[in-house]
């Protein structure tokens, strides 16, 4: 199960009721911060989610509204000894901005008191353990190395199907334990049995897709396909479509169209321009995807996956 906390839902500049981009993604003991706009550390305090386990930051790109909160957050994590190290992941161009930011704001006064690891990432798997996989995918914005992120819960651990085990005459005991652990075995007669042959059907766990700053492009549909929750930028209304196209952003209608084509279960919109009001953005999106919602700062949403 995922729990998302919207820490900042504004675009480019903050509004009185919207902070700059930051989204916390919790999955069991794992915690990821996607983007870290200026003021994110204060949003974390105000939200009540706390700084614990906050040791991995995924950056969509290097624009100031998405990264200016990094030095302050890192300094606070060091001050409170919240984590011994902080890993900041982004594309090469993004990390160049981050490096300059940290060198200028954090490092001139010596050891910042926290080990900061800059991890270069690109499209593909960027983080994985037995229960969760995080996949980055390319976005098309106005700067290099823009990424979206897909969080894939791997679902329940493999269960064995007793009927299949009996049919293949796999004896009870160590062989079944090996198969349950994902290891193939050789039966006494020489027949090889792979775990997939005796696995009970299971459905994958929930998936959350986060689309950061981007203009529309066809391949995005496949990246978001089937997500239980799509978090997507919706910077402008259709009336500002030209401005959206020039600045590499989506309109609410385009974000909603992506949700329709990708057949996602739920759509939460964020990165809302100060030019537009949340209800207007939501109304435009709902003309296309009726379940669309505009996220507010500090809103939380749980994602457990589909019931079927």
Identify whether the C-beta of residue 230 lies closer than 8 Å to the C-beta of residue 262. yes
Catalytic residue (one of 17, 26, 35, 65): 65
Cβ proximity to Zn ion: between 10 and 175 the closer is 10
Q: Report residue 216 as tokens.
A: 């529309």
Based on CB atoms, which residue is closest to Zn ion, 152 or 213?
A: 213
Catalytic residue check, 65: yes
Residues near Zn ion (CB under 5 A): 63, 65, 213
What phi and psi, each to the nearest 5 degrees, are found at residue 89? -110, 135
Which contiguous run of DSSP H or E holds residue 57? strand 56-58
Smallest separation (angstroms) from Zn ion to the CB of 60: 8
Residue pair 28/77 in contact (Cβ under 8 Å)? The answer is no
Residue 144: phi, psi to the nearest 5?
-75, 160
| Residue 248 Cβ vs Zn ion, minimum distance, rounded to whole Å | 7
Residue 72 phi, psi (nearest 5): -65, -45
Question: What's the min distance (Å) between Cβ of 65 and Zn ion?
Answer: 4
Task: Collect all residues with Cβ–Cβ distance below 8 Å to 235 and sequence separation of at least 6.
Answer: 11, 12, 213, 244, 247, 249, 250, 251, 271, 272, 273
Residue among 247 and 296 whose Cβ is closer to Zn ion? 247
Q: Are strands 30-34 and 56-58 parallel, antiparallel or unpaired?
A: parallel
Q: Rounded to the nearest 5 degrees, what angle is found at the Cα of 209, between the Cα atoms of 273 and 130?
A: 145
Q: How far is the CB of 271 from Zn ion (least distance, A)?
A: 6
Minimum distance of Zn ion from residue 249's CB (angstroms) = 8
Question: Cβ(259)–Cβ(289) under 8 Å?
Answer: yes
Q: Between residues 142 and 158, which has the closer beta carbon with respect to Zn ion? A: 142
How far is CA 303 from its chain centroid?
Answer: 12
Q: Of the two residues 175 and 269, which places its CB atom closer to Zn ion in the complex? A: 269
CA distance 270 to 95: 23
The catalytic residue positions are: 65
């Amino acid at each position: 199960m995922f729990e998302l906390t919207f820490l900042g839902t504004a675009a480019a500049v903050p509004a009185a009721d919207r902070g700059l981009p930051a989204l916390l993604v919790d999955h069991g003991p794992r915690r990821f911060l996607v983007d870290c706009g200026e003021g994110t550390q204060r949003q974390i305090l105000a939200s009540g989610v706390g700084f614990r386990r906050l040791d991995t930051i995924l950056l969509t790109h290097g624009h100031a509204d998405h990264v200016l909160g990094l030095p302050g957050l890192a300094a606070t994590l060091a001050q409170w000894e919240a984590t011994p190290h902080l890993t900041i992941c982004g594309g090469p161009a993004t990390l160049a901005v981050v490096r300059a930011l940290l060198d200028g704001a954090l490092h001139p006064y010596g050891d910042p008191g926290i080990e900061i690891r800059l991890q270069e990432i690109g499209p593909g798997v960027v983080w994985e353990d037995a229960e969760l996989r995080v996949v980055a995918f390319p976005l098309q914005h106005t700067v290099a190395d823009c990424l979206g992120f897909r969080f894939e819960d791997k679902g329940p651990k493999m269960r064995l199907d007793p009927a299949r085990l009996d049919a293949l005459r796999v004896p009870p005991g160590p062989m079944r334990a090996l198969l349950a652990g994902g290891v193939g075995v050789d039966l006494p007669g020489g027949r090889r049995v792979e775990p997939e042959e005796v696995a009970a059907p299971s459905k994958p766990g929930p998936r959350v897709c986060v689309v950061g700053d981007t203009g529309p492009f066809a391949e995005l549909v496949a990246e978001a396909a089937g997500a239980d929750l799509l978090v997507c930028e919706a910077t402008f209304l259709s009336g500002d479509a030209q401005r959206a196209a020039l600045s590499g952003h989506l309109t609410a209608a385009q974000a909603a169209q992506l949700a329709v084509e990708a057949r996602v279960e739920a759509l939460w919109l964020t990165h809302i321009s100060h030019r537009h009001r949340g209800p207007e953005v939501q109304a435009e999106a709902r003309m296309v995807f009726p379940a669309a919602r505009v996220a507010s700062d500090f809103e939380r949403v749980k994602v457990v996956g589909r019931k079927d």
